[in-house]
Structure 1
Amino acid sequence: MIRPRFLPDNYVLALAGTVVLASFLPVQGMLAEAFDSITAVAVGLLFFLHGAKLSRESIVAGITHWRLHLAVLASTFLLIPLLGLALGPLFTRLVGPDLYLGILFLCVLPSTVQSSIALTSVARGNVPAAVCSASASNFFGIFLTPVLAGLVLSLHGESQSSLDSIFKIVVQLLLPFVAGHVARRWIGAWVAHNKTMLRFVDQGSILLVVYTAFSEAVVQGLWQQLPSGALAGLLLANAILLTLTIGITTWSSRRLGFSREDEVVMVFCGSKKSLASGVPIAKVLFAGSVVGVMVLPLMLFHQMQLMLCAVLANRYARRAAAAEAEAPVPVQPGHVAPGK
């Protein structure tokens, strides 16, 4: 059983350091253009590796659990966006209109993959179903996120062409993803053997996108435009959104009659949002000057969901262990039970 961690991990600290670096030493001018080109290549490589890591078995596995997978997708792409819209008046007062758009973008993102599966395993949940649900969420998110972003942002007067967004996603994200999955038959074993090294490629790509995005935002006056107390309000808004989502997914999984193992999948895969997918998608969808504002809520939400879900995973694990301890031990044939 893992110990719940209440302190940020090294990756979150690196993200925070990248934001600080961009705030004091933003990249500008021709160098910024060069960074944009490098970032585009890094994002393509990131999704190429995502495609190479996704096994064919995880795509087709779990078909018999279609009710669970549909419930997870509904939570990710329907429930959370609706909560974001319904809580709009409150969130706008807490964080201001610009950061609220970032919260709406957060709401339409797919679920995480690695952390959802890891936490499901710790909580003794249905790991194969978690693999299938999280992978499906990320695959469909390539299409659904730009469409939903266009819809929810248009409700707040922000012009966002869904067709144009989908075209950009297809060219810059989906094609590398498909190419990576096709190449899996040749490089799959190498990718599986070098997971640690490739994790640095993944995280390095995200840090590069964050640095480039925040540099342009800082040059455009990001910190001067944010209202005072916006970060505190953003923490509160994220906490409200995360708490409601976990509460509703827990309640609905029990109403649907899911087992404890499937409830774990519903809670962890249906309540979390992917930083690894969200930052590159924001870079593709939005103008460079606003990307920093759009991903700031996601960066904070990322750490909050990891901390809270780690606590929940340990609680689920303790309950499973207690249930196993209380279960009667079956008597083997030919064995005389004690006291007989």
Structure 2
Amino acid sequence: MALTAKIFNKQNLFLLLLIVMVFMAKLIPFKASYNEFFNLSAFIDWGIAGIFLFYGLKLNLKEVVKDISNWKLHLIIQSGTFILFPLLVLLFYPWVKSSEFENIWLSIFFLACLPSTVSSSVVMVSIAKGNVTSAIFNASMSGLIGIIMTPLLMSFFLEPASGSENHGEVIQQLLIKVLLPIILGILLNPVFKKWITKYSTIIAEFDRLIILLIVYESFSTAFIENIFGSVPPIVFLILAFSVFFLFFMVYHILQFIAKKMKFNAQDIITVSFCGSKKSLVHGSLFLLVLGVTDDQKVLFLLPVMVYHSFQLFYVSWLASKIAQRKSVV
């Protein structure tokens, strides 16, 4: 319980720092002229590659292979992440197509296409006394599948700004910043396994630092170019409502399917928790890799940040409630 409390304190601090970055971007925005002294964009680019390198180094292939046999559970979770989520958002596309709300819809669709988060999925499942091994497997696989699925799903709606050449650039960025570092990390895993375990806390802090810098840079651009001036308050309400609606729909649909398939209580918890998560880390990174224009970055970040905050607070409460109920029984 002490470890759990420590993790949640760190998550709460991270959420507070996200808000601080937004205020810093408003008060002290990072201007292009500052790159002469410190190239923030280049640092973030290298940081993205570093995050995925560490992700590959931490990936335990033995654990992955060991849990493959529970394929029905894995199939439902990954289907929830990459099929159910996008389909629920796609249902609303005919009503927003070619309207002023299309970009808002696209930002929510971006959220729906993202892979699941790793750390909080495993922690929440552990608290609720679910199947932790399968949670680790699916959280890891989700990140790998997302490398292909997220850009693929977004490619149907996110048109490049400068023709087909831009598609080649997106693929190149995915290879250099995402896929290559992960492959390199997996190959080096046997050599650096002990080192990664020893410095796992520092590596986790590095992940958070890069995300905070991405948020700061994106919001700096938004404030400098007065992007918020063109976004009415109703947009934030629509985004928040859509995010909450999406979570509850996916959570309860996956739970219903797991019960109908007669999964045990541990696996039902794992399906509903892991399948309903979305990753702020991947959202922030794909935002840059996919070449989203500067004037759209904040709009795309907002649903991911709102969803990330909501899933941490609500699901942590839900996990504790389930754990207490099981203890009483």
Partner of 1:13: 16
Q: How does 1:84-163 map to 2 (within 5 A)?
A: 84-88=89-93, 96-153=101-158
Q: Distance in 2 between matches of 1:158 and 1:272?
A: 33
Q: How far 1:153 moved relative to its partner?
A: 4.0
Contact residue 84 and residue 107 of structure 1 kept, 8 A: yes
Is the CA contact 2:49–2:176 (under 8 Å) kept in the aligned structure 1?
A: no
Structure 1 residue identity aligned to 2:19: A
For the residues of structure 1 that align with 2:268 and 2:227, how far apart are their CA atoms?
41
Choose 312-321 or 252-261, whichever is displaced more.
Answer: 312-321
1:319 aligns with 2:319: no
User: Match for residue 70 of structure 2?
Assistant: 65
Aligned residue identity for 1:215 = S
Aligned to 2:193: 188
Normalised TM-score (structure 2): 0.89
Q: Distance in 1 between matches of 2:93 and 2:25?
A: 29
Does residue 297 (structure 1) correspond to residue 303 (structure 2)? The answer is yes
CA root-mean-square deviation: 2.6
Question: Could you say if the C-alpha distance between residues 269 and 237 of structure 1 is closer, same or farther in structure 2, counting changes exceeding 3 Å?
Answer: same
> Matches of 1:162 and 1:307 in 2, distance apart?
37
Q: Specify the alignment match of 1:243 in structure 2.
A: 248
Question: SS of the residue aligned with 2:233?
Answer: coil
Q: After the TM superposition, which of the residue ranges 313-322 and 102-111 deviates more from structure 2?
A: 313-322
Structure 1 residues 236, 302: CA separation in 2 closer, same or farther (over 3 Å shift)? same
**Larger deviation: 198-207 or 18-27?**
18-27
Instruction: Determine helix, strand or coil for the equivalent of 1:124.
Output: coil
Whether contact under 8 Å (2:125, 2:132) holds in the other structure is: yes
**Secondary structure, aligned partner of 2:22:** helix
In the alignment, structure 1 residue 307 sits paired with structure 2 residue 313 = yes
Corresponding residue number in structure 2 for 1:334: none
Shift, 1:166, TM fit: 3.5
- Quote how far apart the aligned CAs of 1:152 are: 4.4
Q: Is contact 2:283-2:301 (8 Å) kept?
A: yes
Distance in 1 (CA, whole Å) between partners of 2:162 and 2:14 is: 32
Name the amino acid aligned to 1:307: F
- Quote the Cα distance in structure 2 between the aligned partners of 1:268 and 1:294: 24
Q: Is the alpha carbon distance of 1:25 and 1:91 closer, same or farther for their aligned partners in structure 2, counting shifts above 3 Å?
A: farther
How much does 1:178 deviate? 1.5
Which of 44, 49, 60 is the equivalent residue of 1:44? 49
Larger deviation, residues 107-116 vs 290-299: 290-299
TM-score by length of 1: 0.86
Q: How does 1:210-289 map to 2 (within 5 A)?
A: 210-285=215-290, 286-289=292-295
Unpaired runs of at least 5, structure 2 = none
Equivalent-residue separation in structure 1 for 2:34 and 2:150 (angstroms)? 30
3-state SS, counterpart of residue 202 of structure 2? helix
2: CA distance between counterparts of 1:133 and 1:55? 12
C-alpha distance in structure 2 between counterparts of 1:72 and 1:192, whole Å: 27
Percent pairwise identity:
30
SS across alignment from 1:229: helix
Count of matched residue positions in the alignment of Structure 1 and Structure 2: 318
Deviations 1:122-143, CA, capped at 9 Å, x for gaps:
1111111111111111111011
Q: 1:212 to 1:55 in 2, by over 3 A?
A: same
Superposed displacement of residue 243, structure 1: 1.1
Judged with a 3 Å threshold, the aligned counterparts in structure 2 of structure 1 residues 162 and 73 are, in CA distance, closer, same or farther, namely farther
Aligned partner letter, 1:25:
I
Contact 2:64 / 2:137 at 8 angstroms: preserved in 1? Answer: yes
Structure 2: how far apart are the matches of 1:280 and 1:227?
Answer: 26
Q: Which stretches in structure 1 are left out of the alignment for 5+ residues?
A: 324-340
1:22 aligns with 2:16: no
